[in-house]
Structure 1
Amino acid sequence: MSGLKRSPLKKIAAVLLCWSYAFAVAATLEISDELLGQVQNKYGEAARQRIIQWQTLVRTAKDLPDQEKLQRVNEFFNQNIAFVDDILHWGVEDYWATPLEALATGAGDCEDYSIAKYFTLKELGVDEDKMRITYVKAYKLNQAHMVLTYFATPRAVPVVLDNLVPTIEPATKRTDLLPVYSFNGAGLWLAKARGAGQRVGGSDRLDLWTRLKQRMMNNPL
C-alpha cells in the first residue's frame, strides 16, 4: 500500500537524500506561467488548477497560526492526491515524487503525501525543527507507512498528518501506528510517541542527492 518495500535503513537513507536537496528546490513552490503551461499541456486543465490552488494556499496561509496551517495543508493534499502505488503510477517499485509531480498527476503514495505537506508547511514558515517525516508500522494494514508529525515543543506529543485518517490526531491516539524512525532535513532520530526521540545521525552524511537536485532544478515534471 505505502510503497515502502526496501529495508527501513535503506528507505531512511533515500529520504534523507531527498531532504538534503530540500533547500535547493524550495523555489519550485513559485510556479511560473511557463511551467503552468507545461503542466496543462502534459497533464490537462485539472492539473493546472491543482497547481494554482496550491499557489493560492501558500499565498494566503503564511500569516496563520501553525495549527491552522497544518489543518489547511493536510486537507489540501488529502483531497487533491489519490493514493496510487509507485509501480502502477510510475512503473517502478519506488519513486519519490516532488510536490509538483504529485499535484500535476493527482496521485501518489504515502511518501508523496508526507513530502508535499512538509515542503508546503516549510514554505509557509513552519519551523523545520518542529516537523518530522516519520516511518511507522501501520497495524491495520500490517505494513510500513509514512506520515508527517509536528511537535509544538521538543518534548510534546506530536500530532500526525496522515493520508489514511483525515483528522489530525495526537500520536498517543494513533494506536494503530508504531513509530520507528523520524527525520527532517537536519537529522535522523529513533522515533517515539512523546518527544523528538534520540538523534542517531545527520542528513549531511549523504552526497548522492546531487542527481535528485538536478532533476528537480532541470526537469521538475
Structure 2
Amino acid sequence: MRASRYITEMLSKKPVHVLFLSMTCLSALHADPITTLDGPKIVAALEKSYGERAAKRGTAWLKLMQPDISLSEKDNLEKVNRFFNMFHFIDDIKLWGVNNYWATPVEFIGVNGGDCEDYSIAKYFTLLELGISDEKMRITMVKALHLNQYHMVLAYYETPASIPLILDNIDGVIKPATKRNDLIPVYSFNGSQLWLNKERGRSVSSGDSSRLKRWQDVRQRITTAKLKQPKLKLEF
C-alpha cells in the first residue's frame, strides 16, 4: 500500500470499538505531570478483568512511574523501553478479533501483549507520567524495510532540532534515527500535532492529531470505565 493511501485511510477510518479501559489517571494528555494516579483502583481493575498476574504487572508499572530525581530523561527512556519490550507481541486479529486495534496502556498491561502500536502508545503515556514533555515525543508510523510492512515506534527529541532517538519493540536498543536506516518515516503525532513526512526526511505539520480517528478513539477510551476483554485467552 502506498504511504499516501495509507495516511488517507488512517484519517478517515472510524473507531471500531466502544467498550474499554478505565484509566482516569491518564486523562491529561499533554506535558504536565499527572498527580492523581489511582494505583489501587488500577490494580483492582486489572485483577478483576485479567487475573492475579495482570495485577502484579500493574503494580510493577506503577512502581516504574515513581519519580526518581537521580534519573535523567534518557535513563527514563531506557527503563520504560525495557519494561514494555518484555511484553509479548501478538497480532490484533488473534488478540482482539479485529485487524487494527490500538489498545490503551492498561489493556496492554492487562493482557501482557499487543502489537507495535500498543508498545508505542504505552511508552508514550508512561513517559508523560514521568514528566517528559509531550513536545519531545512523537508516535511515528514507519515503513520497516526488513519486514516490508508498516510499523510504529516512539521517537524522542531532546530539542526540536535534535535527531530523534527511537524506542522500538523490534530492536530493543534505543538508537538515533540516523542509525535506523531500516525505517522510513511516514507520519508522526503526539497529543496535539500531526506531521507528514516528505522527501529527504522532512516532516511537515499537518494540523491537529485528533484528525487520526484511532488516536482520538484511544484517548477517549482512556477516560472511560470499562476494560476490553481479549478474544484470545492468555495464560501469561
Q: Shorter-normalised TM-score: what interval?
A: 0.7 to 0.9
Residues 53-202 of structure 1 aligned to structure 2 (within 5 Å): 53-61=60-68, 64-79=71-86, 81-191=87-197, 197-202=203-208
- Aligned-partner Cα distance in 1 for 2:213–2:73: 32
- Aligned-partner Cα distance in 2 for 1:28–1:83: 31
State whether structure 2 residue 23 is matched by structure 1 residue 24: no
Counting aligned pairs with the same residue, the percent is: 44
| 1:136-171 Cα shifts (integer Å, max 9, x gaps) | 000010000000000111111101000001100000
* Secondary structure of 2:142 counterpart: strand
Equivalent position of 1:11 in the other structure: 10
Q: Does the CA-based 8 Å contact 2:195-2:205 persist in structure 1?
A: yes
Q: Does the CA-based 8 Å contact 1:22-1:185 persist in structure 2?
A: no
Equivalent position of 2:56 in the other structure: 49
Q: Which runs of 5+ in 1 are unaligned?
A: 1-5, 16-20
Say if 1:197 and 1:7 are closer, same or farther in 2 by CA, change over 3 A.
closer
| 1:148-196 Cα shifts (integer Å, max 9, x gaps) | 0001111111010000011000000001111111111111112379998
State whether structure 2 residue 224 is matched by structure 1 residue 217: yes
| Structure richer in helix, relative to its length | 1
Q: Does the CA-based 8 Å contact 1:132-1:149 persist in structure 2?
A: yes
With normalisation by structure 2, the TM-score equals: 0.77
- Aligned-partner Cα distance in 2 for 1:173–1:57: 28
- Aligned-partner Cα distance in 2 for 1:100–1:65: 25
| CA RMSD, 1 decimal | 3.2
- Aligned-partner Cα distance in 2 for 1:153–1:177: 21
Say if 1:193 and 1:126 are closer, same or farther in 2 by CA, change over 3 A.
farther
Say if 1:151 and 1:48 are closer, same or farther in 2 by CA, change over 3 A.
same
Counterpart residue type for residue 171 of structure 2: V
Say if 1:210 and 1:40 are closer, same or farther in 2 by CA, change over 3 A.
closer
- Aligned-partner Cα distance in 2 for 1:35–1:109: 22
- Aligned-partner Cα distance in 2 for 1:157–1:146: 18
With normalisation by structure 1, the TM-score equals: 0.82
- Aligned-partner Cα distance in 2 for 1:11–1:53: 33
- Aligned-partner Cα distance in 1 for 2:132–2:79: 13
Higher RCO, 1 or 2 (CA under 8 Å, sep at least 6)? 2
Counterpart residue type for residue 7 of structure 1: Y
- Aligned-partner Cα distance in 2 for 1:164–1:207: 25
